[in-house]
């Protein structure tokens, strides 16, 4: 019986003699079922890392890499993203899950210091459309977190959020925004590296590219299958970008503070194209100090949506208790 079924799958739907296959119509049904069984295997395969199969072969100079990235990275001024976020960690009971909508007004120039923040961000977390858990505003001069159920508003500065990494579920919303615009960030890094290469006389074979005109020092390392770009900022904080040689996509970013301690570790699992923009759709972010891990799946992007100034203001509300941002530690610990 088992051997016969392997040779004639129609026997599984009739008797041992395969009588169901006598009719041409029934034979067609069996063929379609067999074809679906074979093709469904490919449907269950995970999506590829990115829609870009390969763009280059061999090692490239920083100027050549920048040229590739600059051609495929259109202007990005604002971003709307809808995502699913899974949180786990030492101070998180079980695993937290919520959906989130992020609105991000991107600054003209990327941040130059590890603790700086020049953009405007609004993050709304909810479990259902009518059940908003929190709303967060991150502006250059202040951070506000509103807990909707408790009608409590917490206010502070971006530096406060950096000094107390366990404040907001152990995550920093500005790090999420930075992680989404990784293509734009690495293009800017390569732009500076290209300028340094052209403006400094380095010895042949040297991997250190420095310039007194720029507030950063860049080093480039070549590994099997990857380029590694290391930026040292003026406060000795470091940014490490690991780029795949085949498609010039970042698959890992590590940020170190001025004391050389790992502060943030981002692993990219998948990219996709949205209106010509190559953006990450799945990533894992480890917040080292708060021992929290966030896995984010971006379901949808809107590119350069018009964002009105009112988006980045909480409307005045009555019967709302206001607290300093540090007081949120008691709620989230």
Owner of token pair 């995502």:
83
pLDDT in tens, 313-331: 998 877 888 999 999 887 6
Q: Over the chain, what is the mean pLDDT? A: 80
DSSP state of 226: E
Reported in sequence order, the residue ranges of 189-290 that DSSP labels E, i.e. its strands, are 208-209, 217-223, 226-232, 238-244, 250-256, 262-274, 277-287
**What span, in angstroms and rounded, lies between the C-alpha atoms of 299 and 160?**
31
Distances 301 to 101, 175, 318 between C-alpha atoms, Å: 10, 17, 34
First to last CA, the chain: 61
**Contact between 250 and 50 (Cβ < 8 Å):** no
DSSP state of 314: P
Measuring CA to CA, which residue among 144, 198, 136 is closest to residue 173? 136
Say what the pTM is: 0.78
Owner of token pair 């152990």:
170
In tens digits, what is the pLDDT along the chain, a chain of 333 residues? 444 434 343 433 344 444 444 566 566 555 555 555 554 454 455 567 888 878 777 788 888 899 999 998 899 999 999 999 999 887 776 668 889 999 999 988 766 555 568 899 999 998 876 688 899 999 999 999 999 888 899 999 998 988 888 888 888 999 999 999 999 999 988 887 765 555 544 443 334 433 334 456 788 888 888 999 998 887 788 999 999 999 999 999 999 988 889 999 999 999 999 998 999 999 999 999 889 999 999 999 999 999 999 999 998 877 888 999 999 887 655
Q: Identify the sign of the CA torsion 159, 160, 163, 168.
A: negative
């Amino acid at each position: 019986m088992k051997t016969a079924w392997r040779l004639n799958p129609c026997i599984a739907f009739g008797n041992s003699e395969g009588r169901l296959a006598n009719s041409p119509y029934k034979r067609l049904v069996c063929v379609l079922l067999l074809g679906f069984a074979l093709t469904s295997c490919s449907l269950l395969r995970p999506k590829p890392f990115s829609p870009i199969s390969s763009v280059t072969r061999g090692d490239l100079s920083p100027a050549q890499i920048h040229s590739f990235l600059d051609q495929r990275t259109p202007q990005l001024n604002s971003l709307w993203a809808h995502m699913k976020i899974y949180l786990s960690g030492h101070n998180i009971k079980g695993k937290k899950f919520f959906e989130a909508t992020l609105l991000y007004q991107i600054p003209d120039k990327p941040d130059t210091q590890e603790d700086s923040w020049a953009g405007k961000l609004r993050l709304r977390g909810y479990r259902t459309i009518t059940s908003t858990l929190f709303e967060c505003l991150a502006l250059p001069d202040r951070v506000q977190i509103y807990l909707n159920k408790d009608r409590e508003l917490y206010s502070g500065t971006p530096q406060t959020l950096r000094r107390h990494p366990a404040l907001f579920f152990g995550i920093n919303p500005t790090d999420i925004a930075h992680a989404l615009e990784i293509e734009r960030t690495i293009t800017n890094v390569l732009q500076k590296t290209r300028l340094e290469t052209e403006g400094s006389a380095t010895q042949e074979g040297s991997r250190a590219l420095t310039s007194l005109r720029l507030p950063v020092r860049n080093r480039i390392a070549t590994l099997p299958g990857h380029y590694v770009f290391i930026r040292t900022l003026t406060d000795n904080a470091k940014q490490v970008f690991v780029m795949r040689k085949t498609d010039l996509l970042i698959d890992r970013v590590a940020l170190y503070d001025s004391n050389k301690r790992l502060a943030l570790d981002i692993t990219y699992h998948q990219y996709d194209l949205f209106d010509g923009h190559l953006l990450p759709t799945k990533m894992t972010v480890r917040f080292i100090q708060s021992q929290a891990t966030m896995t984010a799946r971006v379901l949808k992007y809107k590119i350069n949506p018009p964002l009105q100034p009112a988006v980045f203001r909480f409307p005045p509300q009555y019967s709302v208790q206001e607290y300093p941002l540090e007081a949120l530690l008691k709620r989230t610990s």
